[in-house]
Every structure is written in C-alpha cells, then in structure tokens.
Structure 1
Amino acid sequence: MNEKSTRGRPRKYDTRAALDAALLEFRRHGYTATSLDHLSEATKMARPSLYAAFGHKRSIYLRAVGQYVEDKAVDWNRALFDEPSFAKALEAYFLILVAIYSEGDDRPLGCPMLSVIAGEATADPVMSAELSAALERTDARFRNRIAVARDDVQLPPETDVDALADLLAALQHSLALRARAGTEQPELERIARNSVALILRSAGAIPVSDYATVAPNP
C-alpha cells in the first residue's frame, strides 16, 4: 500500500482503552481540573481526534463512566445476588467497592461518579441527572437485595426495605468520600465490615449460623 492511499486515513485507537484512560484522569484530577490536554495525553489521541471520536469533555466523561458502570455492574450484582447469605453478600459487595475506591498509585481515587462530579451537579443539569441516576441505581440494587433477604427469612417480615436501603447507600457514599480524602484500603475495609455488622444487628438479621434452621417462605 503506497503513501498516497494511506494519507488522511484516521489513526486507529482502542475505544475501551481510551475511555478507561480518560476516566482515570477524571478520577485523578476531578472533572473541572481535567483538561483536554490531560485527556489527550492519557488516551494518546490528538485533541482533534479525541473530539471527533467522543465529543466535548462532558461527552467523554459520560461515555467513560457509562462504560465503567456497565463493566462493574456484573461484579456488583454477582456479589449481592449470587451469594445466598445476606450478610456475606453485603460484605463481598462493599469489599469490591472499597477495592475500586482504593485504586491509585499515590492515593485512593474514590468513586468514579461521586468523587468526580458531585461539585458540578449543582450547576450542570446533565451532571445532576447523571448523579441522581447513579444514586437511584444504588438504592434500587439495595432494595432488591433486601427484599430477597426478607423473603428468605433472613430479615424480619416487618423490615422497612427503603430505610435499610438508605442506610446501606449512606455507607457506600461514606466510603467513597473517605477514600477521596485519603483513607487507606485496610481502614476502609474495617469501616465497611463493622458498619455492615451493626446495620444487620439493628435490622434484626438472623445470624449466619442460624440460616439453615429457618425455613424460607413458601
């Protein structure tokens, strides 16, 4: 193939790798402080190519975080719903989150959503909607798992599903904030385990050792 036939052809790039690299930059610097130069250097794409492929900075972030949610949702749902024990499922779920929040060479990076766009949500309706949707997905995930545990008689029948989901969501948000503030992974894991245990006791959850002796609802 001669030089003339290749001239002007767009340079190939790996979409997934580029979006992963872009999200890492947003997590390192925050949304506002992340420049197109940061993104260009991280993705190894010239600014015109970056814009042509993904659009402006907000579009790059939304696509990157969308890919992140799609990828991680599989692990989150497996941890929560494949484990029969409610207590073990919660511990596995929160430890996965802590591992994600603790990513970073120099310091924990926190949540790719809460730690990146919380400050923009008050002024940008699109970011506000994105953050609200993320919070609702978290709430819904917890509500669904709590309902399963209640139906399996691992929680009392009078369990307030919404209130318990609110508590678990608050724990998730607290872990994200603490990670962003620099709390290291072992301490985050300690907080997660102790908080889950306390929440389960307050909710009247049946101890793991007693699950086998309680018949589930027909």
Structure 2
Amino acid sequence: MSIRVVVADDQELVRAGFSMILDAQPDIEVVAEAGDGAQAIAAVREHRPDLLLLDIRMPVMDGIEAARAVCADGDCRVLMLTTFDLDDYVYDALRAGASGFLLKDVRRDALVHAVRVVAAGESLLAPSVTTRLIADFTARAAPRTVAPPSERLSVLTGREQETLRMMARGLSNAEIAREMVVSEHTVKTHVSNVLTKLGLRDRVQAVIAAYEMGLIVPGDAR
C-alpha cells in the first residue's frame, strides 16, 4: 500500500522537485500539491494523506499554523521543511505537532527515507544534532505554562522515566535496550506507556516534554 503524500511549498520549483522525487518511488504517491498553508490544510482534508511535507515559511498561513491545524484534525503526520538548520520556527513547529524536519537541500535518498520513517509512525529524532537543536530551542523559548515536573512525572514508573530520559538524549530503542539490559520489545512498551501517560503524539513531543519538565537539561544530549 502506497504512502500518500501532500507536498506544500510556496516555491513552485521546489515543490515540483520534491513531488517528482517522491512520486518516482514505488511505495509513495503524491496526491496533491499546495502553494500556501491554507491550501495545504484544504488538500489534507480533501485527500486524507498519510503525510504532509510542509514548508515552515508559507504565505497566507504559515507552516506552523497549518501544522497545528492538520495535527489537530486527524492522523496525517507532518514533516516540516526549513531553509536553515537553526530556523527560529523549528521549535514551534515541533510543538505544533510536527514529527520532524528536513533542510530544503536534503539529499534525494534522505528525503525518501524521512517520508517513510515519519509515515511509519516514527520521528526524525535519532541524530544527536536534532536532539541538541531541540534542547537549544527549549532553552531559548519563552516560558510556557506547564504542570510542575513532579506532578507530570509522577504518572511514570521509574523505568519509564529512565526511558524518557534516554529518548531525550537521542538514543534509539536498540540503544536504550542495551543501556537498560532489556529487550527491544520491553523498550517499545515503555515508550508507548510514556507517550500514552503524558498524552504525547510521538517521540519528538516526548523529548520536548523531557526538557520542559527538567528531566534532562541542554547539554545532557550526547
């Protein structure tokens, strides 16, 4: 079954290039394109894709607002596009529910891999550079109203808190399993419990929550 994708970017050549690369894959189908945030939302609602590839900086409605609307609407996952790796909007995009981000100069194979990974329910979080970036934005972001750390963390068992801490460091399930000396299946169960108990969408939001709750501080990521 093909991964259904909507590509949204205000630059026609960029949009067409990404669409061509993705449509050439046997397991990916680009079902629509959009030139602004409002069009992106409309396309998602009409075509019900598995994934929206969305530029952060868009006319009419920016990518952050569009991502927030799409993520609140249903199960479509959002993969953001940005021009710079330190784009000031990356953190807010992740907070809006995006499952990761890519630079616009991403290699062809990396683009395809990212779409497959995010569509499968994972997030682009494993590279340490991504974890450090999220830590940086968390540290620089304006204070947000969140529950006291002890109150939020109290719903997690000790093992689940340990799992969350390792997720925030950017460790994969296999790496967490080795650190905790348990099976990957057990780790997957811990990760699922963390997301469910904290009401989080995916690993990206789990990492943000870990920083916001003070479970890990910028600089702890490997």
Tell me if TM exceeds 0.5.
no
TM-score range, shorter chain: under 0.3
TM, length-normalised to structure 2:
0.25
Which structure is larger by alpha-carbon Rg, 1 or 2?
1
Bigger proportion of residues as strand = 2
TM, length-normalised to structure 1:
0.25
Bigger proportion of residues as helix = 1
Larger relative contact order (C-alpha < 8 A, sep ≥ 6)?
Answer: 1
